[in-house]
Chains A and B, each alone.
Chain A
Amino acid sequence: MLLIRCPHCEMERPEIEFRYAGEAHIVRPPDPAAVSDEAWADYLYMRANPKGLHAERWRHIHGCGRFFNAVRHTVTDKILKTYKAGEPKPDLGAFATSADR
């Protein structure tokens, strides 16, 4: 089980308090009607599946209830950073060295 730091509660809590919610930083088009079928299908279905660093959404569902984002290494499952939803996506390159150590 992972220990995950909730950026709202500012504490590490066990994974069972959290729920995974898919890839982060996928923005719902502000005017869906203006989006082509292809672009809408991309928004609905196309996801990165990296071997390595992944910015993803989690919710502290059995805690504060808030959604937040995390950078997780998909090989080691290490969570290298958590941050509040709405904050910019961190530069994943900056984590590469520490995760691949």
Chain B
Amino acid sequence: MSGPFRTPSGGRIDRAAPLSFTFDGARYVGVAGDTLASALLANGVHLVGRSIKYHRPRGILSAGAEEPNALVTVIRDGGRVTPNLRATQIELYDGLVTVSQNRWPSLHHDVGAIAGCFSPLFPAGFYYKTFMGPRWLGSNWAWTRVYEPLIRRAAGLGRAPTSPDPDHYASRYAHCDVLVVGSGPAGLCAALAAAQAGGRVILCDEQSEMGGSLLSETTAIVDGKSALDWIADKIDLLSSQDRVTLLPRTQAFGYFHDNFIALAERVTDHLANPDPASPRERLWQVFAKQVVLATGAIERPLMFPDNDRPGIMLAGAAHTYLERYGAKPGHRAALVGSHDTIYRAALALARQDVVIAGIFDNRSHPDSDLIPLAREAGITVTTGATIIGTSGRLRLSKVRLGVLSDDGSARDAGDLACDHLLMSGGWTPSVHLFSQSRGKLAWHPDKQAFLPARSHARVWSAGTCAGDNELSEVIENGFAAGENAARAAGLMARPRVAVAVENAQTLNGGSLGELPHPNRHSRKMAFVDFQNDVTSEDLKLAVREGFQSIEHVKRYTTTGMATDQGKTSNMNALGIMSSQLNIPLPDVGLTTFRAPYTPVTFGTLAAHSRGDLFDPIRRTPIDSWAQDNGAVFEDAGPWKRARYFPKAGEDMHAAVRRECRIVRSAVGVLDASTFGKIEVVGPDASEFLKRLYVNDFRNLEIGQCRYGVLLNEAGFVIDDGVIGRLAESTFHVTTTTGGAARVLHLMEDYLQTEFPDLACWLTSTTEHWAVIAVQGPKSRDALAPLVEGIDLGKASFPHMSLAEGKVAGVPARVFRVSFTGELGFEVNVPADYGRSVWELIWQEVCLYDGCAYGTEAMHVLRAEKGFVIVGQETDGTVTVGDLGFGWAVGKQKQDFVGKRSLSRSDMIKADRHQLVGLQTVDPKIVLEEGAQITIESSSTAGAAALGHVTSSYWSDALGRSIALALVSGGRKRRGERLHVPMPGGAIEVVVTAPVFYDPKGERLGG
């Protein structure tokens, strides 16, 4: 027998399939079809958790996704620990291991419960009021060091797992004509109607089994069948159609623009032995032409003192546990509420021999067909009655009754013994997804509910989420929504076959806000938000303190801000606000519904984008050689670049010093393949480049290159690079490593939209060429033996030349360019030959005792020469003038991108930050990049900085530190002494020209 509280028959469980599980180490037996919650109830376990703030014992409140109390941790193995799962949604499997949360040392004896005795210290906003430290410690000291850590330890949910998640998660896109969310009677009918119209239909439901409320419906006869048989028929019909996708265990959690819906499918969490090849969860991103929301309704708790003891449950939930899961909530029930759900629950419990101690209807004159039935069954029904208190430390033992008077007060009417109390304050339509679709909600006073009104999305709502009540109405409107959606999706709806519903119970009623009780100012707490421990008193206090907007009250009291996002509490909170502010409920306003509807794992959201797939890495054709030769890499955008090649015993500084020395004295090779490359081709190619770059390219001879600077239209430098002319109408343009995509995008923009008259084509060739920079006084000697068809001689191939030929037998474009200030070449070969050509060049380089150098040495060498790096010396506010590149601007050019901006008044101010060199007075000090520059050695607070250090290195060639900086009016400050304030005191520097090494450029001509 799977628990003493299991009914002998009925429900959607298989009593012949026992499943063993543990909760907090105790072993229990449930059956197939159970949730953890139903299995615990069948074993008589109600105490499942402790509340977040007061550590109050809590039981199972609901039977669905809205559960605020019964949060547990499921443990599969080391890395598979999932906290904060709702016991009402955890499907039982054999060997399931679960533990409760937020208690120490145990659920039954929780030291933290002492917090409940100090509850007056924790009113709404207590963390703003109580935990102020002595002022002399500083404003935040006590909070960050003492109070916050203490509170964080005492309050909380489950612990996050500490090891990496071993599971994998899938993600897919899907398109459909109609997406139906929710498979209760309305959703089923909508899916049927849309499927009959021939549409591609996706029907998803958060539960393991489709059918929604009908799964616990035992009285109604639909089309002459029991509800369960009718569901089975319809599911068969839907699953036989290949245009219909049924997704159980799938929560629609987000409704985004343009009918883009996110679904989270739980694929393996319900299995005892999941296939390791299967993803744990799957994210569905659905483009739905039309959406039907059939998301149902959520029952509201009642607010009376001590309404949160284990054993107090929603009446509809108890009905579900009994009829669907065959689990009785106890032996002796009391029921209280303002909605007829309590009668349905009482009648069902009585049929299973649960003693009904009494039904206490808040309404003075309830009018339900079920009342005479209840009385016939021998149940005492008291109207105009309420509950004003409860007892029982870890489980409800008795309730205190109250009699409601016409003036709205309540009078004590004595105790009643019971082991569970079922309550119903009515049902709140689940309009979360509709609201997320940017739909407007309208208040319906007759139904005391916010219901879907106008939406910008292509969405239809049907069933109880749209305010339908009777089953026949739900089915009718479900079909209608499916037909409307199909028609709106361009399909032809088929004539409908009427569905006959007999014997369905009609349930009415409901209330919002707190119930009256005589002990108004006692310490008894009536909880509104169970998960965040917010009481009715907290809300009233917030109103007394002057809060009027629900958005403010929500944040001040934290009501509705727990992981359940107030599914059971929001309407009651509005009810209290409404009565406290004495304004109609719809005037209080409604907080915004946001995705996700229920918590979604990070795994599902990340899906495949983790580990190696998180962010793609780009590697050059020569990368493997650098790895083989011990390079240390750095990130340059998405690229990995070799930063330096340390020899045994060398740190970075030693390696970089050696690499710089060898390049200046012999020869070094650098993998420059990451530089962006764009082939610009066409009769108007030179005209196009002329219009884009500050330089003039029309007079560039074939076989020559030029350093090009690119501005944006606002006149600021955004990229630079060498541009070579291969033929009359062919240019080889290089860009910075990080700027390649951006520059191509900008070029395409101008070519397509501003200069469509130009005949010119752009092709990204970044990955087509491997680029090997050979630099240093011996570079020609090292390279020449491998070169065919190009005379590298001083006169025939001068600085800034370009030629096509062969290198190591491979077709190549060879540039004579230098980013080091030395004689240098850059060899471009097709990417597939990159490593083999590199290795042949490397052999030659070794003959001259050369080296491979990385980006760090490249930076030092270029800084010694004052060569800027766009993005390091520039930050989007630097002009060509600021860099001292006025010479590059084509004076004859009437226009180029950014030219007009160069004459704006701000662009020609004398105090603009200009590129200068800085030399520390103490040559051993290397400045920090980004450090500010001031005139005074001890600047007063608030004094403006003159500029900042952009690059700073130790220069082996000069035997001292060097720096580049942007300094206000810098070019006129040469020779001035300035200061770089640092925590250890200001560093004195002298302003110099930005070229430190070989200022006349004599080495270039070698």
Instruction: Give the interface residue-count category, chain B.
Output: 20 to 34
Which residues of the other chain, A, contact B713 by a CB distance below 8 angstroms?
28, 44
- The answer to whether A67 and B258 touch across the interface, beta carbons within 8 angstroms, is no
- A32-B900, A33-B900, A40-B904 known; A75+B456 contact, CB < 8 A: yes
Across-interface contacts of A21 in B (CB, < 8 A): 749
A59 CB to closest chain B CB (Å) equals 7
Closest B residue to A75 using CB positions:
B456
Contact B256 A67, beta carbon cutoff 8 Å = no
If the complex has contacts A76-B456, A77-B258, A78-B258, are A1 and B901 also in contact, measured as CB distance less than 8 A?
A: no
In Å, the complex CA distance between A35 and B714 comes to 14
Q: How far is the CA of A3 from the CA of B894 in the complex (A)?
A: 42
Best-buried of B173, B285, B756, B900 by chain A (most CB within 10 Å):
B900
Is A96 in the interface zone, CB < 8 Å from B?
A: no
| B360 interfacial by beta-carbon distance below 8 Å | no
With a CB–CB cut-off of 8 A, which chain A residues contact B752?
66-67, 85
Of the candidates A29, A35, A44, A65, the one having the most CB atoms from chain B within 10 angstroms of its own CB is A44
Binding site for B on A (CB under 8 A): 1-3, 14, 19, 21, 28-29, 31-33, 35, 37, 40-41, 44, 57, 59, 61, 65-67, 75-78, 85-86
B905 adjacent to A67 (CB under 8 Å): no
B residues near A1, Cβ cutoff 8 Å: 256-258, 260, 285, 287
Further 19 A-B residue pairs, CB within 8 A, beyond A28-B713, A40-B904, A67-B748: A2-B258, A2-B260, A14-B173, A28-B754, A32-B895, A32-B899, A33-B900, A35-B900, A57-B753, A59-B748, A67-B752, A75-B438, A76-B257, A76-B456, A77-B258, A78-B456, A85-B753, A86-B753, A86-B756
8 interchain pairs, CB-CB under 8 A = A2-B258, A41-B904, A44-B714, A61-B745, A67-B749, A76-B257, A76-B438, A86-B753
Q: Which residues of A contact B745 (CB under 8 A)?
A: 19, 59, 61
> What is the CB-to-nearest-CB distance from B790 to chain A, in angstroms, rounded to a whole number?
35
**In whole Å, how far is B902's beta carbon from the nearest beta carbon of chain A?**
10
Q: Collect the chain B residues with CB atoms within 8 Å of residue A86's CB.
A: 753, 756
Specify which chain B residues have a CB less than 8 angstroms from the CB of A28 in the assembled complex.
Answer: 713, 754
With A44-B713, A61-B745 already in contact, the answer to whether A67 and B753 are too (CB < 8 A) is yes
Q: A76 to chain B: which residues have CB within 8 Å?
A: 257, 438, 456
Complex Cα spacing A77 to B894, Å: 41
In angstroms, Cα B753 to Cα A14, docked, is: 23
**A-contacting residues, B863-919, CB 8 Å:** 894-895, 899-901, 904-905
Question: Do residues B905 and A3 form an inter-chain contact, with CB atoms below 8 A?
Answer: no
Q: How far is the CA of A41 from the CA of B905 in the complex (A)?
A: 11
Closest B residue, CB atoms, query A2: B258
Contact with A along B429-441 (1 / 0, CB 8 A): 0000000001000
State which of A35, A40, A65, A78 has its C-beta within 8 Å of the C-beta of B748: A65
Interface digits, B276-300 against A, CB 8 Å rule (1 contact, 0 not)? 0000000001010000000000000
Q: Give chain B residues whose Cβ lies under 8 Å from the Cβ of A65.
A: 748
Please determine whether A40 and B900 come into contact, CB atoms closer than 8 angstroms: yes
Interface residues of B in 145-198 (CB under 8 A from A): 173
If A21-B749, A40-B900 touch, does A33 touch B754 (CB 8 Å cutoff)?
no
Interface flags for B245-283 (1: CB within 8 Å of A; 0: not) read 000000000001110100000000000000000000000
The distance in angstroms between the C-alpha atoms of A40 and B895, with both chains bound, is 14
CB distance from B4 to the nearest CB of A (A): 52
In the bound complex, CA of A66 to CA of B756 (Å): 12
A83 to B895 alpha-carbon distance, docked (Å):
29
Whole-angstrom distance between the Cβ of A6 and the nearest chain B Cβ:
14
A residues near B287, Cβ cutoff 8 Å: 1, 3, 14
Q: Bound complex: CA of A31 vs CA of B713, how far in Å?
A: 13
Of A1, A29, A33, A61, the most chain B CB neighbours within 10 A belong to A1
Which A residues are in CB contact (< 8 Å) with B258?
Answer: 1-3, 77-78
Complex CA distance for A71 and B565, rounded to whole angstroms: 36
For window 285-341 of B, CB contacts with A under 8 Å fall at 285, 287
Distance from B305 Cβ to chain A, minimum over Cβ atoms (Å): 46
| Min distance, Cβ A42 to any Cβ of chain B, angstroms | 12
**A61 partner residues in chain B, CB cutoff 8 A:** 745
Minimum CB–CB distance for B488 against chain A, Å: 13
- A2-B257, A67-B752 given as contacts; is B714 within 8 A of A33 (CB)? no
Say yes or no: A40-B901 contact (C-beta < 8 A), given A28-B754, A76-B456: yes
Least CB distance, A51 to chain B, in whole angstroms: 13
Residue of B nearest to A35 (CB): B900
Bound-state CA distance A41–B753 (Å) is 20
Residue of A nearest to B455 (CB): A76
CB distance from B304 to the nearest CB of A (A): 43
Contact status of A33 and B895, CB under 8 A, knowing A59-B748, A78-B258 = yes
User: B904 and A77: CB pair below 8 A?
Assistant: no
The 8 closest A-B pairs by CB, nearest first: A32-B900, A76-B456, A77-B257, A2-B258, A67-B752, A1-B260, A85-B753, A28-B754
- Name the A residues within 8 Å of B714 (CB-CB): 44
In chain A, what residue has the closest Cβ to B454? A101
| Chain B proximity of A28: nearest CB distance (Å) | 5
Cβ of B456: which chain A residues have Cβ within 8 Å of it?
A: 75-76, 78
Q: What is the CA–CA distance of A1 and B284 in the complex, to the nearest angstrom?
A: 13
Tell me, rounded to whole Å, the shortest Cβ–Cβ distance linking A57 to chain B: 8
A33 touches B894 (CB 8 A): yes
> What CA separation (Å) do A67 and B287 show in the bound complex?
24
CA distance in complex: A33, B257 (Å): 43
Q: Which residues of B contact A66 (CB under 8 A)?
A: 752
List the B residue with the shortest CB-CB distance to A24. B753
Contacts of A67 in B (CB 8 A): 748-749, 752-753
Say how far B63's CB is from chain A's closest CB, in angstroms.
Answer: 34
**A77 CA to B173 CA in the complex, in Å?**
20
Task: Report the bound CA distance from A84 to B287 in whole Å.
Answer: 25
Please report the C-alpha to C-alpha distance between residue A32 and residue B900 in the assembled complex, in whole angstroms. 6
Q: In the complex, A21→B753 CA distance in Å?
A: 12
The distance in angstroms between the C-alpha atoms of A40 and B714, with both chains bound, is: 9
Q: Residues of A contacting B900 with CB < 8 Å? A: 29, 32-33, 35, 40
Shortest beta-carbon distance, A74 to chain B, in Å? 11
Given contacts A44-B713, A59-B745, A85-B752, is CB(A37)–CB(B904) below 8 Å? yes
For B749, list chain A residues within 8 Å (CB): 21, 59, 67
**Given the complex, which residues of B lie within 8 Å of A78, measured CB to CB?**
258, 456
B 11-34 binary contact with A (CB < 8 Å = 1; else 0): 000000000000000000000000
> A66–B751 Cα gap in the complex (Å)?
10
Question: How near does chain A come to B88, taking the closest CB pair, in angstroms?
Answer: 32
Q: Could you tell me the distance in whole angstroms from the C-beta of A14 to the nearest C-beta in chain B?
A: 8
Q: Kindly state the separation between the CA atoms of A21 and B749 in the bound complex, as whole angstroms.
A: 9
For residue A31, which residue of chain B has the nearest CB? B895
Which residues from 746 to 762 on chain B have a C-beta closer than 8 Å to any C-beta of chain A? 748-749, 752-754, 756
Contacts of A85 in B (CB 8 A): 752-753
Chain A minimum-CB-distance residue to B762: A65
Q: How far is the CB of B273 from chain A (nearest CB, A)?
A: 36
In the bound complex, CA of A35 to CA of B713 (Å) = 14
- Find chain B residues with CB under 8 A from A37 CB: 904-905
Least Cβ–Cβ distance between B226 and chain A, in angstroms? 43
B824 to chain A, nearest CB (A): 35
| Most B C-beta atoms less than 10 A away, residue of A32, A40, A61, A76 | A32
Inter-chain contacts of A33 with B (CB < 8 A)? 894-895, 899-900
Query: In the complex, A36 Cα to B367 Cα: how many Å?
Result: 79
- Kindly list chain B residues whose C-beta atoms are within 8 Å of the C-beta of A2: 257-258, 260
Inter-chain CA distance A57–B173, complex, in Å, is 26
Q: Which B residues are CB-close (under 8 A) to A40?
A: 900-901, 904
Residue of A nearest to B897 (CB): A28
Query: With the chains together, A28 CA to B714 CA distance in Å?
Result: 12
Shortest Cβ distance from residue B766 to the other chain A in the assembled complex, whole angstroms: 16
Q: How far is the CA of A61 from the CA of B173 in the complex (A)?
A: 21
**With A and B bound together, what is the CA distance between A62 and B485 in angstroms?**
33
Chain B 422-478 interface residues, beta-carbon cutoff 8 Å to A: 438, 456
Q: Report the bound CA distance from A4 to B745 in whole Å.
A: 20
Could you tell me the distance between the alpha carbons of A21 and B900 in the complex, rounded to whole angstroms?
22
CA distance A29 to B894 in the complex (A): 13
